[in-house]
Amino acid sequence: MSAKQYDEIRAVLEARKRELNERLERITANVRRGLQADSEERAKEMEDNEVVDALGNEARDELARISLALSRLDAGDYGVCTQCGEPIDRKRLAAYPFAAECIDCARDDEIRGSRPV
Ligand SMILES: [Zn+2]
């Protein structure tokens, strides 16, 4: 990949990171508001918080992947599968810029039951 392509990927990852951080801030603010709600609304709030929590975990999970992808960009081993060392397909990187594994290894992970990256 050319330096320009790396720059583009970095820009996509940084933008996504900002978006996720903003989402997490909103989620945290919602949870805080929920905790301040009076007891009548408590049951409903708790339900909402569970949903909010799941969303928060998803965002945190993706943020962690993005951070790893950015550090791989810095290290110069971005786009190489962390499992088998083969280059990751360009189309896959376009769809999942934070992918750490090639499609074959991600599929193997899925079969083994761990989450594909
Ligand atoms: Zn692989």
pLDDT tens digits along 85-108: 999 999 999 899 999 999 999 998
Distance between CA atoms of 65 and 61, rounded to whole angstroms? Answer: 7
Q: Which of 11, 33, 95, 22 is nearest to 55 (CA)?
A: 22
Distance between CA atoms of 40 and 72, rounded to whole angstroms? Answer: 49
Of 74 and 113, more confident: 74
pTM listed for this prediction: 0.74
Distance between CA atoms of 74 and 88, rounded to whole angstroms? Answer: 17
In this prediction, residues 9-17 reach a mean pLDDT of 95
Ligand 1 centre to CA of 108 (Å) is: 9
Ligand 1 centre to CA of 22 (Å) is: 32
Ligand 1 centre to CA of 59 (Å) is: 25
Ligand 1 centre to CA of 6 (Å) is: 20
pLDDT tens digits along 36-84: 665 556 666 666 677 777 878 889 999 999 999 999 999 999 999 999 9
Ligand 1 centre to CA of 68 (Å) is: 16
